[in-house]
Chain A
Amino acid sequence: KAGVTQTPRYLIKTRGQQVTLSCSPISGHRSVSWYQQTPGQGLQFLFEYFSETQRNKGNFPGRFSGRQFSNSRSEMNVSTLELGDSALYLCASRISGGAFYEQYFGPGTRLTVT
């Protein structure tokens, strides 16, 4: 079974631009969560989508948004990029109602904002 895939793997953007990251979950997984990993803060939860609806949300500004499509693929968008948005963005998928240990992470997208 193919794992969670994220595209692109690396991205360089300029402050003020916007960016869209993509995540394809494991086949059959309907829940997708997004996390931001930075050296000082560890992994921070952004949001979780299930059946095209946002189910949970972390404490991030409105510049961070996401959506999920009917095939469970998810996108995350960050508008008006700031230098502090430079991070590794991870997505994770799990089956509907699955426990957290059944959550599988993708390799991440490394975003650098200059």
Chain B
Amino acid sequence: DQQVKQNSPSLSVQEGRISILNCDYTNSMFDYFLWYKKYPAEGPTFLISISSIKDKNEDGRFTVFLNKSAKHLSLHIVPSQPGDSAVYFCAASGDFGNEKLTFGTGTRLTIIP
């Protein structure tokens, strides 16, 4: 049972345009969400997070939006740069600090120069 779903396995975007990565979840107990970025041969690195008490969090070129009623979150990258090409995982937690993270299956983003 996949509680966190990333339905697009891949996405290609022109450099300079906006990249939008989507993530859906089914467990209403999740209250903290994170995005990780992964390059080949490296472990995932934390990108940005959002608590369920917010609907938006911004950090430079990266913005995460959370729609609790739809159980949907998205990551916006603008403008997209070639170095953004990587696999992006969304993850969710039910208890800030101690609980396990439940990850999605990932979306491979390719930025076309």
Contacts and interface: CB of A to CB of B under 8 A. Distances in A.
Interface of A: 4, 33, 35, 40-45, 48, 55-56, 58, 90, 92, 97-108
Contacts of B81: none
Nearest to B103: A43
B105 A40 contact: yes
B100 interface: yes
Q: How large is the interface on B (under 10, 10 to 19, 20 to 34, 35 or more residues)?
A: 20 to 34
B49 A107 contact: no
Contacts of A101: 34, 46, 49
A1 to B, nearest CB: 15
Contacts, number: 63
Give the interface SS of chain B, mostly helix, strand, loop or mixed: loop
B98 interface: yes
B99 to A, nearest CB: 7
Interface in B89-106: 89, 91, 93, 96-106
Given A42-B103, A43-B103, A44-B103, A100 B93 contact: yes
Contacts of A41: 2, 105
Contact of B104 (A42, A45, A92): A42
* Residue among A100, A101, A107, A108 with the highest chain B CB neighbour number at 10 A: A100
Contacts of B42: 107
A42 B43 contact: no
Contacts of B91: 43, 100
B65 interface: no
Nearest to A46: B100
Nearest to A55: B98
Given A43-B44, A101-B46, A107-B43, A58 B106 contact: no
A45 B105 contact: no
Contacts of B102: 45
Interface string B75-95: 000000000000001010100
Nearest first, the 6 closest Cβ-Cβ pairs linking A and B are A105-B43, A42-B105, A43-B103, A45-B100, A101-B46, A42-B103
